[in-house]
Amino acid sequence: MTHYDTIIIGGGPAGMMAAISSSYYGQKTLLIEKNRRLGKKLAGTGGGRCNVTNNGTLDDLLAGIPGNGRFLYSVFSQFDNHDIINFFEENGVALKVEDHGRVFPKTDKSKTIIGALEAKIHELGGSVLTNTEVVSVKKIDDLFHIKSAEAEFTSDKLIVTTGGKSYPSTGSTGFGHDIARHFKLEVTDLEAAESPLLTDFPHKALQGISLDDVTLSYGKHVITHDLLFTHFGLSGPAALRLSSFVSGGEIAELDFLPQTSEQDLLSYFTENREKSVKNALRGLVPERVAEFFATDYPEKIKQLSPAQSQELVDKLKKMPIKITGKMSLAKSFVTKGGVDLKEINPKTLESKKVPGLHFAGEVLDINAHTGGFNITSALCTGWVAGSLHY
Ligand SMILES: Cc1cc2nc3c(=O)[nH]c(=O)nc-3n(C[C@H](O)[C@H](O)[C@H](O)COP(=O)(O)OP(=O)(O)OC[C@H]3O[C@@H](n4cnc5c(N)ncnc54)[C@H](O)[C@@H]3O)c2cc1C
């Protein structure tokens, strides 16, 4: 039975960063991952390009982490998004910032990020065991006993970074919550967050179109961000963010042109009255959206009655979309709920009840918006959980 100072279960961003800091602090460290490769979920973020962090201010970070972000004050005072950026740049990964502060590797490839994290673990002397599923964890006297089907390890410190319960095909099946319960720690209710929306909007015509910085609103909840039409409804950051405020049955409104007033649109139609409706709309919205709207009207702008012009403006500025439901937890991007933060010391991420037991990443009751905020939370909590606190 091999003994380690620190064992980490789960090789997502939280676990990889925990392995780096633990090794950096001179701990004999083992990271165990059940998939063949590290970072399967991370690899799929940002459309496969890896949205590694967000370069906003501390206030931006807290706004981007609506699920208990304030618990992370102490974590961010030790390691924050700017430390993530420095970390990658110091380790040979060039980064770039895109809209809404989203940070990506310049290569646009997730493997650049995952490769850099893995290389750093090895450079610092940490060990990684993939293809190994942990099936049980026990604490006997002061030692954790960690068992897979084929092996058993012991450690003084255990860091659980097994993720939430969303997208279980990436490996996050909730095992960490079972470990918490085994040690009699509270786990809050698990719910879907950042869920794609099911709608009755005519999907087929618009499926696959993505819109930059449109406004999707429901009542007082007004979100301006990118939006994606899918075969079932709406996805993309605007829809995912609205999902916390709707459950199904609501009528949301979509403003395709939040920067343009209704009056400006009516003037635009007057200026372009000789054009076909389709061509005039092409100057405002993507081609397929223009075609979709134009089918309901006479050919030329000048043939539109005042009522039809106003109707077209209304469709562009406040298109009603009935929300019929949301995707389930398994098909949502993030899990709300997790190990109850009351159980956890915010400076060290150690369990208050079980010395040596630490949690980091989405297994905790912390949830954030996509756009790099969950990954920031995972990498920063991972660093802190792996650190030694003197
Ligand atoms: C499609 C998609 C897109 C996303 N886009 C973004 C985005 O743009 N920005 C953002 O901030 N967030 C995004 N997220 C969320 C983000 O990816 C997660 O919050 C983040 O990966 C959580 O990191 P983690 O290390 O806590 O857990 P995970 O990345 O889930 O890693 C947990 C690991 O633990 C392993 N594991 C579990 N049980 C065991 C066991 N018993 N033994 C061994 N290993 C085990 C799993 O195999 C897994 O590899 C997205 C999520 C999805 C699904």
Ligand 1 pocket: which of 8, 45, 328 to mutate (most atoms within 8 A of CB): 45
Q: Per residue in 262-282, pLDDT tens?
A: 999 999 999 999 999 999 999
Residue 85: is its pLDDT beyond 80? yes
Give the distance (Å) from ligand 1 centre to CA of residue 15.
Answer: 10
pLDDT band for 178, please (50, 70, 90 cuts): very high
As a whole number, mean pLDDT of residues 311-330 equals 96
Nearest atom of ligand 1 to the alpha carbon of 40: 49
Is there an atom of ligand 1 within 6 Å of 196 CB? no
Q: Per residue in 188-238, pLDDT tens?
A: 999 999 999 999 977 788 999 999 999 999 999 999 999 999 999 999 999
Pick the residue whose CA is nearest to atom 5 on ligand 1. Answer: 45
Nearest atom of ligand 1 to the alpha carbon of 39: 49
Residue 4: is its pLDDT beyond 80? yes
Q: How far apart are CA 18 and CA 379, in angstroms?
A: 8
Percent of the chain exceeding pLDDT 90 equals: 97
As a whole number, mean pLDDT of residues 19-28 equals 98
Pick the residue whose CA is nearest to atom 31 on ligand 1. Answer: 12
Closest CA to 51 of 60, 41, 42: 42
Q: Over the chain, what is the mean pLDDT?
A: 97
As a whole number, mean pLDDT of residues 126-130 equals 98
Give the distance (Å) from ligand 1 centre to CA of residue 363.
Answer: 9
Residue 68: is its pLDDT beyond 90? yes
Domains of the chain and any CATH numbers: 2-191+329-386 (3.50.50.60), 197-326 (2.40.30.10)
| Cβ contact 103:60 at 8 Å | no
| Cβ contact 153:7 at 8 Å | yes
Give the distance (Å) from ligand 1 centre to CA of residue 270.
Answer: 51
Supply the angle between the helices 306-318 and 262-271 in degrees, to the nearest 10: 130
Question: Cβ–Cβ contacts within 10 Å for residue 83, how many?
Answer: 16
Closest CA to 146 of 31, 16, 36: 31
pLDDT band for 390, please (50, 70, 90 cuts): confident
Alpha-carbon separation of residue 360 from 18, 308, 340, 349, 383 (angstroms): 8, 56, 12, 7, 9
Nearest atom of ligand 1 to the alpha carbon of 51: 8
